[in-house]
Structure 1
Amino acid sequence: MTMKPLVNVGKNGLSDHLVQSVADAVESRELVKVSLLQTSDYGPKEVGAYLQQALPGLEIAQTIGRMVVVYKVAANADNRHLSEQVDELGR
């Protein structure tokens, strides 16, 4: 996957700021890579679970090493490029 991480989890850990950053990113792109920096005290499963609890409808698409890839259908129809492609594949 060539997509670069848009959100980093570091020493500030799991916070409202992290949740807001991920919420903003998935609203505009639907698929977002979250990187866990070496300074993070949390693992990918903990970060994924925290984000799923904080953002209803968010799905963990993949976990690779210290990366968590999350997906959520955008609320704004203008931002639903990826989810529309997925829907077309399912037809």
Structure 2
Amino acid sequence: MELRGKQKRFLRAQAHSLRPMFSVGKEGLTENWLNQLSGALDKRELIKVNILQNADVTTKQVQQFIEDNTNIQVVQVIGHVLVLFMVSHDESMRRLSETVSAI
């Protein structure tokens, strides 16, 4: 699902009160980290990722790595925080994506 402007605005509003669940540190980006990220998004559909100051990667590199290797969409980038969205594979967990698709 490609997100339109109103859908992104809705997701940004939903993510406002969330705290970052994942961090990118000095270990950088790995397949294991990406698999854990996909698993968490499959349950929640919307999360934040924090890029720590000691990380060897930039925000753009993290965004590019996520978008190239998965079907996860970056909704917003604020400083060192990324807001990520993915439609859940489990239909019982699709509460947020159903609302987004109706917008």
TM over 0.5: yes
Q: Which residue of 2 aligns with 1:72?
A: 86
Q: Which residue of 2 aligns with 1:63?
A: 77
Q: Which residue of 1 aligns with 2:66?
A: 51
1:88 Cα deviation after fit: 2.4
Is residue 27 of structure 2 the alignment partner of residue 12 of structure 1? yes
For 1:37, which of 46, 52, 57 is the aligned residue?
A: 52
SS in 2 for 1:28: helix
SS in 1 for 2:43: helix
CA-to-aligned-CA distance 1:37-79 (integer Å, 9 cap, x gap): 1111111111011011111x21110000000111110111011
Structure 1 unaligned blocks of 5 or more: none
Q: Hey, what's the Cα distance between the residues in 1 that align with 2:24 and 2:77?
A: 14
Q: Which residue of 1 aligns with 2:11?
A: none
**Over 3 Å off, 4+ runs:** none
Structure 2 unaligned blocks of 5 or more: 1-15
% identity of equivalent residues: 31
